[in-house]
Amino acid sequence: MIQVGIREFRERFSEMVHGAEPVVITNRGKRLGRFIPERRPVPAEVAAAAVRDIEAYQASLRAHGIEPYDILADLGLDPSGAPLADGKP
């Protein structure tokens, strides 16, 4: 989530509307509200291509003796990308 002042929000409105990240809008440091863009469906062929690319990348890592989930653990993340409960691998 990003935080912007009301003036910046107005100036970047088009960018924010087409973005995917929620925005906290402030005025002189006080929170006024949030803007949450609508999620747009991803075309099936785009999603399938992304899955193929991810699987190919993981296979490449494994071919070099690197387990993708170990990388996440080293970063303090579980396999879904959420923080580990204790913050340690």
Mean pLDDT of 33-58: 90
Query: What band does 19 get if pLDDT is binned at 50, 70 and 90?
Result: confident
Mean pLDDT of 50-72: 93
Question: Is pLDDT above 70 for 81?
Answer: yes
Give residues with Cβ within 8 angstroms of 89, minimum separation 6. Answer: 70, 73, 74, 76
* Percent of the chain's residues with pLDDT above 70: 96
Give residues with Cβ within 8 angstroms of 5, minimum separation 6. Answer: 25, 26, 27, 28
Q: Where are the domains of the chain?
A: 2-35, 42-88
The reported pLDDT for the residue numbered 49 is: 95
What does the alpha-carbon distance between residue 55 and residue 68 come to, in Å, rounded to a whole number?
10
Q: At residue 59, what is the residue type?
A: A
Higher pLDDT, 42 or 4: 4
